[in-house]
Amino acid sequence: MTDSESPRRRRSRSRRRRRARLRRVLLTSLVVTSLVLTLGGWVGFRAWQARAHLVNAAGLASELSSHLVGGDTARAQRTLAALQEQSGAARRATGDPGWWLGRQVPYAGANLSAVRQISIAIDDLARQAFPALLEVDLGGLVPREGRLDVADLQAVATQLAEVDASVRRTRSDLLAIRDDRLIGQVREAVVRLRGEIDRLADLTSAADRAGRLLPPLLGADGPRRYLLVSQNLAELRATGGMFGAYALIEANKGRLRMGSQGSSAGLGSFAKPLKVPTEVRSLWGELPGIYPADVNLSPHFPTAAALYRDMYRRSAQDTVDGVLAVDPVALSYLLRVTGPVRVPAGVELTADNAVKTLLSDTYQRMEPAEQDAFFAAAAGSVFDALFERKIPPSGLLSAFDRSVAERRILFWSARPEEQRTFGDSRMAGTLPEQDAVPTVGVFLNDGSGAKLGYYLRQSADLAVGECQGEGRRELSLRVTMRSTAPSSGLSDSVLGLARSGDPYTVRTLVSVYAPAGGAVLDIRLDGDETVTATGTERRRQVATVNVEIGPGGSKTLEVSLLTGKTDSGDAELWLTPTATPWTTQVVTAPSCSQ
């Protein structure tokens, strides 16, 4: 080899080595690319499978709910088996090695992990919570021979506690998913499932609390006495209606008996007002502490119940352990289960005529003294039917569930430890000082001194707006109220005090409560600025407007609000229960972090 050839040979060997390295790199890249494409195709195929199984599972879960409410245990068992098959398939489709590798990929991995967690959540519910729920003997929640078996209730309570614990574990796992890195479809699925689990958790939590509280409330540890109060929706108050007729209920070892009856008017008024919370007094003066009919001008039911109990104690020289409030619409739901009942006055109450009979016909046909006796007799007749007739458990639970969801059944215990257990549940009627989701309240108080609330029709639309500074959001509320009252022909009992001037004009004090920590920015009546009374209650700004509507007329309130600090794009409405249900719509928006 000559000296002149050596560099050329070295350059040649160097080029060959570079080409070899390039071939290895290209070959490696080709293999890796093929693997990635294969993995992507496999994961995509499995994702398609998982989606199909999850869609099927969602439909089956809805069917299962219907069967449970309807008491069809056999069909519920078959549906549960099919649900478990679909949820298990979704879990397997998202649990193989290919899916695990896909979860390690940046960006895409977060979405695959979320789908995996959704599959696990639905499968856990199908295999843990739902089977335990099917095993609960609902018969223990229904009266037999005039009493509830306390031992059966305690057994049911243990089962319900297990169901609630399972649901809460699933809920906690879903909350751990970070949704700021998810694509729209996956984020929407996570948010929707969280919402469904939240609703399920509310139900199982309420059932768990009821299972724990019912035995002592029904006198398992000693006799209890309660006031059963009828909320008269013909004369509106924030929690529903003016407290009218009442009855004493005595509970002992699961057996309930209705005792003495009376009316709020019979309790008289109090020249020396009872102590009213400062915020409530700043909004309504001393009225809640003077008149039994005004204790619930505030929507916070514990305030109203405590005042009413104290008024009963002072007037009747008697003490009770709590207050239970119901309204005629709730009675109509119960009548659909018990069947018609005959009131001593000779009237037959049915699910279809109860509301009209109690809130309209009675005032047209009877004198005031007869009205109180009729209301008391009606409540007693439904109560007796509830405990004496053979009632399907599922139907009774459905009626109670609907009544509680609409805040038509409210309960307050005078024992602080029991009241704390109820917490902020709907049945407690507690106006919470903090919001999980921004909540706007629209509460109605009659200002006519009449019984014209039966003729009101109302709607509320709430829209979530732009994200503002300091983590707040704008909300837009639109409330429309219409009167269906005739222009003549109503009795003096219906027209009452006619404080609006024209006896056929409905005067309503509409109070808008901002979300906790939020504010009411602007409020207009039929597009014009209006006089507004303002205040606060339980960390919520309150704006109250006087709205007067003649026969056949309508008025619209438009309100701009600001939430407290929140990232949520959701919102909720809390409305005064009325004789005719509200028409509502809530328009949500993406969270501020999206």
User: For 389-410, what is each residue's pLDDT tens digit?
Assistant: 887 776 777 788 889 889 999 9
What six digits make up the tokens of 305? 């119940």
Between these two residues, 312 and 73, which has the higher pLDDT value? 312
Please check whether residues 59 and 94 belong to one and the same domain: yes
Q: Is residue 429 domain-resident?
A: no
Q: Is residue 9 domain-resident?
A: no
Q: Is residue 569 domain-resident?
A: yes
Look at residues 217, 233, 264 and tell me which one is the last residue of a structural domain.
217
Please check whether residues 411 and 485 belong to one and the same domain: no
Q: Is residue 7 domain-resident?
A: no
Look at residues 196, 217, 238 and tell me which one is the last residue of a structural domain.
217
Contact 119, 57 (CB under 8 A): no
Hey, is 178 helix, strand or coil? coil
Please check whether residues 35 and 173 belong to one and the same domain: yes
Tell me the CA distances in angstroms from 429 to 69, 195, 288, 443, 515, one per residue in order.
Answer: 24, 21, 17, 13, 16
Please check whether residues 471 and 371 belong to one and the same domain: no
Please check whether residues 477 and 559 belong to one and the same domain: yes
Count up the domains in the chain and report the number: 3
Please check whether residues 465 and 348 belong to one and the same domain: no
Please check whether residues 211 and 244 belong to one and the same domain: no
Please check whether residues 213 and 249 belong to one and the same domain: no
Q: Is the pTM of this model over 0.85?
A: no
Please check whether residues 484 and 363 belong to one and the same domain: no
Q: Which range of residues forms the domain containing residue 540?
A: 434-587
CA distance 463 to 571: 8
Please check whether residues 311 and 386 belong to one and the same domain: yes
H or E stretch covering 98 = helix 97-103
Residue 276: which CATH number?
Answer: 3.40.630
- What's the one-letter identity of residue 20? A
Look at residues 217, 248, 274 and tell me which one is the last residue of a structural domain.
217
Q: How confident is the model at residue 32 (pLDDT cuts 50, 70, 90)?
A: very low
pLDDT at residue 416 greater than cutoff 90: yes
Q: What mean pLDDT is predicted for residues 376-380?
A: 80
What six digits make up the tokens of 431? 């106006």
pLDDT, tens digit, 9 for 90 and up, residues 474-520: 999 999 999 999 999 999 999 999 898 999 999 999 999 999 999 99
Give me the percent of the chain exceeding a pLDDT of 70.
84
Please check whether residues 414 and 438 belong to one and the same domain: no
pLDDT, tens digit, 9 for 90 and up, residues 258-311: 888 888 999 999 999 999 999 999 999 999 999 999 999 999 999 999 999 999
Q: What mean pLDDT is predicted for residues 195-212?
A: 71
Q: Is residue 2 domain-resident?
A: no
Please check whether residues 174 and 246 belong to one and the same domain: no
Between these two residues, 327 and 121, which has the higher pLDDT value? 327
Give me the percent of the chain exceeding a pLDDT of 90.
48
The owner of tokens 């089977």 is 131
pLDDT, tens digit, 9 for 90 and up, residues 516-541: 999 999 999 999 999 999 999 999 99
Q: Is residue 526 domain-resident?
A: yes
The mean-pLDDT minimum among 131-135, 209-213, 353-357, 484-488 falls in 209-213
Q: Is residue 594 domain-resident?
A: no
Q: Is residue 4 domain-resident?
A: no
Residue 240: predicted pLDDT:
97
